[in-house]
Copies of this chain bind each other. A is one copy, B any other.
Amino acid sequence: MDAIHDLGGKQGFGTVAIEPAEPVFHEPWERSVFVAVLGVLRGGIGNNSQFRHAMERMDPVHYLSGSYFEKWMTGIATLLAEKGVVTQEELEARAGGPFPLAPNPELKDVPDPAPDGDTARFAPGDAVVVTKDRPSWHTRCPEYVRGRRGEVVAVRGTVAVPHIEVHRNERTPEQTYSVRFEGSELWGSAAEPGTSTTVDLFQSYLEAA
């Protein structure tokens, strides 16, 4: 999904604000949200990919202006409502006011997992190109590497394919790789010299270069 969460390389966000001696939680409500997320995911009501995808579907202004725990709260409540554990009405009645959730647009044609995904097709040193695909469904392939050429630097083992985990609630293992991209390949003439970014990508995001 090409949503607002895909921030790599975007400009205009200004300086990174740093808070010295920051506590783990700034407010008691952040602690409650953290515990709620861990409890819900441990309970098997939804999986971590579905939780992530719920946050990605948030209204873009809500996503960008909300803190990390604001996003977590919205994401986990969305997941609970979609799984039928709570209703938005229950949440709002208890909260005494609006409790915004992420919308859930209908998706067509979510593809099957690639065959033989658990068999590694690439090895360190291999040149690969990332698919140019821009899926409307959940993906962990960031826009800034799509269509770009890199080198496999490590095989990272099998992980459940994210879009299958989200949209079918099934775990299908697929090989993942660390793929290194030179700065110039990603940013062209704007790249800083002597820099690269290594991104962890699923096998089905990659083609031999």
Contacts and interface: CB of A to CB of B under 8 A. Distances in A.
A103 interface: yes
A22 interface: no
Task: Give this chain's copy count.
Answer: 2
A10 B14 contact: no
A125 interface: no
A190 B103 CA distance: 19
Contact of A64 (B9, B57, B60): B60
A14 B59 CA distance: 8
A1 B13 CA distance: 12
A44 interface: no
Q: Which of A144, A185, A190 is the most central at the interface, judged by chain B CB atoms within 10 Å of its CB? A: A190
Interface in A162-187: 185-187
Interface residues of A, number: 41
Contact of A134 (B111, B132, B188): B188
Contact of A3 (B1, B12, B59, B187): B12
B60 A13 contact: yes
15 contacts: A2-B11, A3-B10, A3-B11, A4-B10, A9-B134, A11-B136, A12-B56, A12-B58, A12-B63, A60-B64, A61-B61, A109-B189, A133-B188, A133-B190, A143-B143
